[in-house]
Chains A and B, each alone.
Chain A
């Protein structure tokens, strides 16, 4: 109720100033989400800077060793005594997972609090009488969170890549782990944007806060799992066939393996497929986001005069 009041008070206090007033209203109504999002961003930034600071020590704690020390290998006791590598690996793991799951709260919030609550309580209709057309209302509702989300997830993704340094898979996980893959490329930004658009669409379709929250979350869950299952098919795999046995390097994302009865045949994605896979997946996500946004505008236009 307080949010509704402040939303209407805003245009009254500040004389109509076009988009600036509308942007301000969106930020003011959703200040709780803004505060929590800002806190999450601050915590993630601080943690990643800390991770970067201990990255060198962590690498010293995660090297081949010998007992007693010889041939240039440090002694295992001295390596084992360094525990900072566990802190580093756990910290990176946690932040990677958190970034790859941002889509879920975003979709639930966009469905419930951003769109459907306004439609359910009638504050949207009130806004439409205040010289704000429905289309501009929806555009502001989508654009402001989209810009903030892009900036925040982009920052965290870049800081994450910076804190991972040489991407030692023993410390930060292999590039093809679902969490790692999502949060080390442009997909880190595209997933939350797709969640925002899907959530907004469910909010417009259902027009009630709680069902829209649930439906937005469910839509994000479906998208996330479908892409996780189909990711390996988004780019042609490399096939390697040899008469004898062979071993793939650790960086190869192995799909299938036959043999070694006559010849060994392996299908896999080498690490060089990271960027093609990222671009295709980002393209799919942005297409989903664009389709959901266009549908949302079409639904709104049909509903309102």
Chain B
């Protein structure tokens, strides 16, 4: 209810000035969301910076105190110590916020940005104030997209800085690899593109449902489905490399997608688990073993292809949203 009066007074106080007035109305109406986003980015950035500095130092000193780096490591090295756990939690908060942001965006865009306005009738009010529906929707998409990209970029750059600095610590603890979900998304441009997809999906859900709470549910469930499908497809978005070896498996490196045994004709078969039994190997005609994998040099090709797909889906969603709005309002766009 307060939101309605805000719009009215704002357009009255600043006489129609085109996009600037619309931009100002957007920021004013959604100031809580704006502050929340600033707070979220600040928390994520703070956690990552803490992990980068004091967190990593404390984890290292604990590691040395337990003599985990010597030839005679204590049994305590089997479990992670409290300092490393703190470090891991801080990194998890930073990377987790990057992963959570698309879903929060979708929920907010479906409910507060679009659904509530259509439900309460404030959208129809705005369309009578010399703002066409198309320009209204364009502003609703452009302003959050710019703010989302900025915030996600800050978090991604910080995560990359941390990632390039803590390689030794990761190797020592045997934790987190470049291809694992959150790390993969937080180290490249995929995370940013998912946030934009969340915005597009939320906006379309809001236009479809025209009611705040159902739109919230539809947006979150829809985005969850899309991200699950794309996450499953991720290893197949770039040609795999193959290592083969006779007698035993090739080394385990990078993102391993498939492995198995090779027969004398070069056919790929399931491993009969003969281990070193030569008779068993001969019976199954096994002459070698293979592993399909992505080396870390495939990081950027995989990132670029997935980003391309995500942005294409987002663009398609936005086009559908504009079409839908045009058909509904019948206004000249």
A interface list, Cβ under 8 A from B: 32, 67-68, 75-77, 80, 112-113, 117, 209-211, 213, 245, 247, 254, 256-260, 264
Q: How far is the CB of B1 from chain A (nearest CB, A)?
A: 8
Give a binary string over B272-308; 1 marks a CB under 8 Å from any A CB, 0 the rest.
1111010010000000000000000000000000000
Contact A80 B273 (CB under 8 A): yes
Contact B277 A68 (CB under 8 A): yes
B interface list, Cβ under 8 A from A: 32, 74-76, 78-79, 82, 111-112, 116, 212-214, 216, 271-275, 277, 280
Instruction: Show 28 residue pairs from A and B whose CB-CB distance is below 8 angstroms, ordered by the A residue.
Output: A32-B214, A67-B273, A67-B274, A67-B275, A67-B280, A68-B277, A68-B280, A76-B273, A77-B272, A77-B274, A80-B271, A113-B213, A209-B212, A210-B111, A210-B212, A210-B213, A211-B32, A213-B111, A213-B213, A213-B216, A245-B75, A247-B75, A254-B79, A257-B74, A257-B75, A257-B79, A258-B76, A260-B75
In the assembled complex, the Cα of A116 lies from the Cα of B112 at a distance in Å of 15
Contact A77 B74 (CB under 8 A): no
In the assembled complex, the Cα of A113 lies from the Cα of B79 at a distance in Å of 44
Contact A259 B112 (CB under 8 A): no
Q: Which 7 A-B pairs have CB atoms at the shortest separation, nearest pair first?
A: A257-B76, A77-B273, A76-B273, A67-B275, A80-B273, A77-B272, A210-B112
Which residues of chain B are near A113, meaning CB under 8 Å? 213
Q: How far is the CB of A298 from chain B (nearest CB, A)?
A: 25
Contact B213 A112 (CB under 8 A): yes
Which residues of chain A are near B32, meaning CB under 8 Å? 211
Contact A67 B277 (CB under 8 A): yes
Q: How far is the CB of B200 from chain A (nearest CB, A)?
A: 20
In the assembled complex, the Cα of A264 lies from the Cα of B78 at a distance in Å of 14
In the assembled complex, the Cα of A80 lies from the Cα of B78 at a distance in Å of 28
Q: How far is the CB of A202 from chain B (nearest CB, A)?
A: 15
In the assembled complex, the Cα of A76 lies from the Cα of B273 at a distance in Å of 7
Q: How far is the CB of B253 from chain A (nearest CB, A)?
A: 23
Contact A259 B76 (CB under 8 A): yes
In the assembled complex, the Cα of A80 lies from the Cα of B280 at a distance in Å of 15
In the assembled complex, the Cα of A80 lies from the Cα of B111 at a distance in Å of 49
Q: How far is the CB of B269 from chain A (nearest CB, A)?
A: 12
Which residues of chain A are near B275, meaning CB under 8 Å? 67, 76
Which residues of chain A are near B74, meaning CB under 8 Å? 257, 259-260
